[in-house]
């Protein structure tokens, strides 16, 4: 038995008997049963070492974040997560690394009751691809298209923490400053996919996206898909205590909040009369940050309504 066969066995132990799993790990395909009144929502995300997470990131956190990124996509569509596939590329089979990775993966999988149903294992530079699958009642998924003029633009949680943590790590490695506090670091390494929020907002929102590359870039996807524009009031962008302490002025926070990336919050558009119902059912704060306009383009304004110049796009991989 080669070491990669051992890895496959390792992950086979990670898969509980999931709902709708006709056949799990072990054959050429998994067999999944999708209820007749549901659509299958499916999304894949790859995390490459040194690009999507710093090289010294703990294996536990890499496991967690790999699944979190894909679950966040399901959340943005209002889908209920059920199953996932794991494609692992590893330099070598390091037992301690694998144990930590599997623990992080298992912890988040358990919380969201998703079952690992298959995958692939190959040798090469460390990279992890998770394909997450979920269910959404037919015709009810939240899409990027659908935002209307007059809708409010809202975000869950706070923005900019992951980018602040990353900046802290880089700073401390360069010898300037202490490493980020554990709670802040968790915002980078163990994001909480907003699954419950997505399901709740599914009936109320007109459009949604999850924020992985930064609000500035991600909101543009909604605007383009919906054929509308937006005005964002930068002083309303929700900031955590960490962010406000380290960067007391909203202007200093803007680059991280708009283009830092890795927030894994949801950005949703909804008619103003639905905002109370939307906030009421949520465990996470929902903050109104602006509104949709018929006229295309994305404008940022201060509290007085004066235009503010900001970089026009989020984090992009091929720049």
- State the residues that interact with Mg ion by CB under 5 A: 28
Contact yes or no for 139/149 (Cβ under 8 A): no
> Does residue 27 touch ligand ADP according to CB under 6 A?
yes
**Ranges within 87-146 binding ligand ADP (CB under 6 A):** 88, 116, 118-121
103 CB neighbour count, 10 Å cutoff: 14
Nearest to 103 by CA among 95, 129, 134: 95
**What is the full DSSP assignment across 194-213?**
-HHHHHHHTTT-SEEEEESS
Please report how close the Cβ of residue 8 comes to Mg ion at its closest, in angstroms: 12
Please report how close the Cβ of residue 7 comes to ligand ADP at its closest, in angstroms: 6
Nearer to ligand ADP, 88 or 155 (CB): 88
Binds ligand ADP (CB under 6 A): choice among 26, 177, 272, 297: 26
What residue 86 binds from Mg ion, ligand ADP, none (CB within 5 to 8 A, per partner kind)? ligand ADP
- CA trace torsion 8, 133, 214, 297 (10° rounding): 150
Distance CA 154, CA 122 (A): 41
Contact yes or no for 229/295 (Cβ under 8 A): yes
Nearer to ligand ADP, 8 or 111 (CB): 8
Paired with 89 in beta bridges are 122, 127
Please report how close the Cβ of residue 19 comes to Mg ion at its closest, in angstroms: 25
Nearer to Mg ion, 29 or 306 (CB): 29
What residue 274 binds from Mg ion, ligand ADP, none (CB within 5 to 8 A, per partner kind)? none
Please report how close the Cβ of residue 61 comes to ligand ADP at its closest, in angstroms: 18
Please report how close the Cβ of residue 259 comes to ligand ADP at its closest, in angstroms: 33
**117 burial type by CB count under 10 A (0-12 exposed, 13-18 middle, 19+ buried):** buried
Note the residues at the interface with ligand ADP (CB under 6 A): 8, 11, 25-28, 86, 88, 116, 118-121
């Amino acid at each position: 038995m080669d070491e990669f066969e051992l890895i496959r066995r390792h992950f086979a132990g990670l898969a509980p008997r999931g709902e709708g799993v006709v056949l799990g790990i072990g054959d050429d395909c998994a067999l999944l049963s999708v209820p007749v009144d549901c659509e299958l929502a499916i999304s894949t995300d790859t995390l490459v070492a040194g690009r999507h997470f710093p090289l010294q990131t703990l294996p536990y956190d890499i496991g967690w974040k790999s699944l979190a990124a894909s679950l966040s996509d399901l959340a943005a569509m209002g889908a209920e997560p059920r199953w996932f596939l794991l494609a692992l590329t590893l330099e070598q089979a390091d037992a301690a690394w694998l144990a930590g990775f599997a623990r992080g993966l298992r912890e988040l999988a358990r919380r969201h009751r998703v079952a690992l149903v298959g995958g692939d294992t190959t040798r090469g530079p460390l990279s992890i691809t998770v394909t997450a699958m979920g269910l959404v009642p037919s015709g009810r998924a939240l899409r990027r298209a659908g935002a209307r003029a007059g809708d409010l633009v809202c975000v869950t949680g706070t923005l900019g923490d992951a980018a602040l943590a990353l900046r802290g790590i880089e700073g401390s490695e360069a010898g300037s400053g202490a490493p980020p506090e554990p709670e802040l670091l968790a915002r980078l390494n163990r994001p909480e996919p907003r699954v419950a929020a997505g399901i709740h907002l599914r009936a109320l929102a007109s459009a949604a996206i999850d924020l992985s590359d930064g609000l500035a870039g991600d909101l543009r996807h909604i605007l383009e898909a919906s054929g509308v524009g937006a005005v964002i009031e930068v002083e309303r962008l929700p900031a955590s205590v960490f962010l406000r302490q380290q960067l007391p002025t909203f202007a200093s926070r803007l680059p991280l909040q708009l283009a830092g990336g890795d927030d894994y919050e949801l950005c949703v558009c909804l008619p103003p009369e639905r905002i109370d119902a939307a906030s009421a059912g949520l465990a996470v704060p929902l903050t109104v940050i602006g509104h949709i306009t018929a006229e295309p383009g994305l404008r940022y304004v201060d509290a007085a309504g004066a235009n503010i110049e900001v970089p026009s796009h989020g984090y992009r991989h091929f720049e």
